[in-house]
Amino acid sequence: MKYELQTIPVWDALRKEGECPICNLMQAAEKDSLDFYTGSSVMNPETRVKVNTTGFCPHHLQLLAESGHPQSLAVMLRSVVQQRIADLEKPFSAICSSKPGRATDKAISAFADSVFEHEQGCLICQRMENRLIRYCYTVAVLWDTDVEFRHVLEESKGFCLHHFVRILEISGKALPARTRAEFIHSMAMLEKKGLLHTADDVEWMTQMYKSENDGKDWNGCEDAHIRAAYRMIGKGRIDDEDNKQV
Ligand SMILES: [Zn+2]
Ligand SMILES: [Zn+2]
């Protein structure tokens, strides 16, 4: 599979402040996807079929519903609800006609499977995962081919732990084994340094709540608790584990 490089967005994200450049890129990717599905694309027959069959996870359907595009969502959801009614016809008649006892439980269980299975698919999660792969791939390629990028990256704060792992995984698609080993070593050192920095910041934040430190300088650690949380799990991250395509 050929991966498309995303040099300019990755460079731009690396130059921005924050705990993780990939988190920043993924927040933009989510916004782009929401715009796509609230725009004129919902009228496209091909998109409509995909929306009806795959749909959206609860997180993204909620964001779409609250995005302030009532007309687009009404058009989209009209056919989604009709499709769901058709899909659920059998499970509905099973729960209504089953005999009391175990048959009822079985029918409810089949109905639940149908509902929960549908919640697993998500067109926005899929689009975001495709972008994530390209961004992680680009980080590895630029580290190998652009001296300036390597320098800026190695002097940066690194990544959130979630995206650090994804970059290491995807680097296998971008680099030959020997170069990859060097890249992984470099990223591991960077990540450890970033984590230690986060730990120092949170430590100083806790110290600042002690009376003996009244009047001392916060050293920019007023929001260390938030940055520590982002460092652990990523900022605004959705659970994309089900959509891995690597
Ligand atoms: Zn991240
Ligand atoms: Zn989703």
Q: Tens-of-pLDDT digits for all 246 residues of the chain?
A: 678 899 999 999 999 988 899 999 999 999 999 999 998 887 788 888 999 999 999 999 999 999 999 998 998 999 999 999 999 999 999 999 988 888 999 999 999 998 998 888 899 999 999 999 999 999 999 999 999 999 999 999 999 999 999 999 999 999 999 999 999 999 999 999 999 999 999 999 999 999 999 999 999 999 999 999 999 988 876 544 444 443
Domain tally for the chain?
1
Handedness of CA 20, 22, 23, 25 (dihedral sign): positive
> Would you say residue 38 lies in a domain?
yes
- pLDDT, position 100: 86
Q: For residue 230, how far is its CA from the centre of ligand 1 (angstroms)?
A: 8
| 95 domain-assigned | no
* Structural domain for 170, as ranges: 7-87+121-239
**Which listed ligand is nearest to 57 at the C-alpha?**
2
Per-residue confidence (pLDDT) for residue 17, from 0 to 100: 81
Are the CB atoms for 135 and 27 separated by under 8 Å? no
Cα 86 → chain centroid: 31
Other CB atoms within 10 Å distance of the CB of residue 208: 16
Going from the Cα of 49 to the center of ligand 2, the distance in angstroms, rounded, reads: 17
pLDDT score recorded for residue 40: 82
For ligand 1, the distance from its centroid to the CA atom of residue 85, given in whole angstroms, is 38
Q: Which ligand has the nearest atom to the CA of 34? A: 2
| Cβ–Cβ under 8 Å, residues 164 and 198 | no
Phi, psi of 232 (to 5 degrees): -75, -50
Query: Is residue 227 a part of any domain in this protein?
Result: yes
Could you read off the pLDDT of 65-83 as tens digits, one per residue? Answer: 999 999 989 989 999 999 9
106 domain residue, yes or no: no
Q: What is the mean pLDDT of the chain?
A: 91
Ligand 1 centroid–CA 233 distance in Å is 7
Residue 156 lies in a domain: yes
Q: What is the pLDDT of residue 237?
A: 64
End-to-end CA distance of the chain: 10
pLDDT in tens, 105-150: 999 999 999 899 888 889 999 999 999 999 999 999 999 999 999 9
Cα of 205 from ligand 2 centre, angstroms: 35
- Give the pLDDT score at 244: 43
For residue 210, report the distance from its CA to the centre of ligand 1, in Å: 32
> How many Cβ atoms are within 10 Å of 8's Cβ, its own excluded?
9
Residue 96 lies in a domain: no
What distance in angstroms lies between residue 238's CA and the mean position of ligand 2's atoms?
7
47 is a domain residue: yes
| CA–CA dist 78, 101 (Å, integer) | 36
**Ligand 2 centroid, distance to 42 Cα (angstroms):** 17
Dig out the tokens for 46 from the structure. 């091909």
Ligand 1 centroid–CA 8 distance in Å is 18
Give dist(CA 118, CA 63) in Å, integer.
17
Q: How far is the CA of 245 from the centre of ligand 2 (A)?
A: 15
CA distance 104 to 110: 10
Per-residue buried b or exposed e for 113-140, using 16+ beta carbons within 10 Å of the residue's own CB: eeeeebeebbbbbbbbbebbbbbbbbbb
CA 15 to ligand 2 center in whole angstroms = 28
CA of 13 to the centre of ligand 1 (A): 11
Q: Is residue 231 a contact partner of residue 195, using CB atoms and an 8 Å limit?
A: yes
CA nearest 28: which of 56, 9, 4, 14? 9
Residue 223 lies in a domain: yes
Entry pTM:
0.86
